[in-house]
Structure 1
């Protein structure tokens, strides 16, 4: 676990990161996994409709996509099926270009780095292994750390608490509309990345203060981004 510092005379600062679709190229894998899970239980849900909701919690996603009069006893089974199908793709997961470097630059800039993910704990462990950036990560959340999933802000609140950072001293980076809305609920500036497949205009409409193509693009513009205001500190070794 990385050791973080508090700037002399100031509050501790932090950058929170979503993981799926933001640091790991997994948004469309989740789409395919949900599509397969729905099909297993007789629901023909278009992939386009699924992809637009990837990033919100599984229970919310299922509730949004299936008829209100369905047999809700199947919901847990559908979510379990999605989890199993997604797990079958673990060997294919890849970090997005610049993801590790971005985490490293934030860390050496002296801010706390937290993964604010609502993924299942085991999925998160696999994605952290793929990122290979634990030396730069101070804390991480999973679905176990929140009562309500995005767009509720519970996951972000848990991440802030884990690194001891106030919302006023944080920035959030995500790829989904639900990420932007969760950050907005806490008044945290949200940076949107389009690498998860959501158009820049939609991210801005949902509250993104800036939008970049992906981690590498954000890293190249870090000094002028919302994160730049958090990075006046001497780099950590």
Structure 2
């Protein structure tokens, strides 16, 4: 069993990917031609500026910053209060901690959103460390967010696993030296997550739990 369990939040613990993508789509439309939802889904979980460089390649940096600012405002004002946590998260966290695991959250989202998500999840007592978008400049697949979570846990990469819903979570985990496991709650296929390096992929976090506790880690 791993000693450290690092969890993405959006799309992994909280059901908010459709709302996040819709708010981004609306923000892009205020500055230029629309981008199809299915196109944005391909980059769900990728660093926001990198996403915009791919989907609106002609937009200068200043416009990309404005789009991301607008997206955050639309999300908070229109969508944030309607999101819900996935079922069973507290039970999974409790099970891991009872078996000696240490839990960290590693998410690109920032203060207001993370605070709201934590109020919904009710897992503070099980979480040892948090690393969020306020702590690092670049989002996943940059590995620094995962590295920060590992540092706060006081564990090495081989002792830990990152659980996320996108290929970018897995890529960041592997680059930081940790293992990666995936859930299908973010809209990506099993193949996409396995190809990105996940050793196990399941429908949701409850279904993934047995794989997490039986996997071997290197110490």
| TM-score grouping bracket, smaller chain normalisation | over 0.9
For the residues of structure 2 that align with 1:184 and 1:193, how far apart are their CA atoms? 16
For the residues of structure 2 that align with 1:27 and 1:62, how far apart are their CA atoms? 17
Structure 1 residue ranges (4+ consecutive) displaced by more than 4 angstroms after TM superposition: none
State which of 24, 30, 45 in structure 1 corresponds to 2:35. 45
For the residues of structure 2 that align with 1:125 and 1:137, how far apart are their CA atoms? 13
For the residues of structure 1 that align with 2:164 and 2:60, how far apart are their CA atoms? 33
* TM-score, normalised via structure 2 length: 0.93
In structure 2, the residue matched to 1:31 is 21
Deviation, 1:201, is 0.6
For the residues of structure 2 that align with 1:132 and 1:205, how far apart are their CA atoms? 33
SS in 2 for 1:143: coil
State which of 60, 75, 90 in structure 2 corresponds to 1:71. 60
SS in 1 for 2:5: strand
Contact 2:200 2:208 in 1 (8 A): no
In structure 1, the residue matched to 2:124 is 134
In structure 2, the residue matched to 1:155 is 145
1:17-64 residue CA offsets vs partner (Å, 9 max, x unmatched): 000000100111111011011011123111011111111121111112
Contact 1:180 1:190 in 2 (8 A): yes
SS in 1 for 2:14: coil
State which of 7, 14, 27 in structure 1 corresponds to 2:4. 14
For the residues of structure 2 that align with 1:93 and 1:228, how far apart are their CA atoms? 32
Deviation, 1:229, is 4.4
Deviation, 1:230, is 7.1
For the residues of structure 2 that align with 1:230 and 1:30, how far apart are their CA atoms? 35
Matched, 1:100 2:90: yes
Higher gyration radius (CA): 1
* TM-score, normalised via structure 1 length: 0.86
Contact 1:173 1:190 in 2 (8 A): yes
Moved more, 82-91 or 206-215: 82-91
1:129-148 residue CA offsets vs partner (Å, 9 max, x unmatched): 11111111111111122232
In structure 2, the residue matched to 1:5 is none
Contact 1:111 1:230 in 2 (8 A): no
**How many positions carry a matched residue from both structures?**
215
Gaps of at least 5 residues in structure 2 are none
Contact 2:157 2:179 in 1 (8 A): no
In structure 2, the residue matched to 1:62 is 52
For the residues of structure 1 that align with 2:194 and 2:3, how far apart are their CA atoms? 24
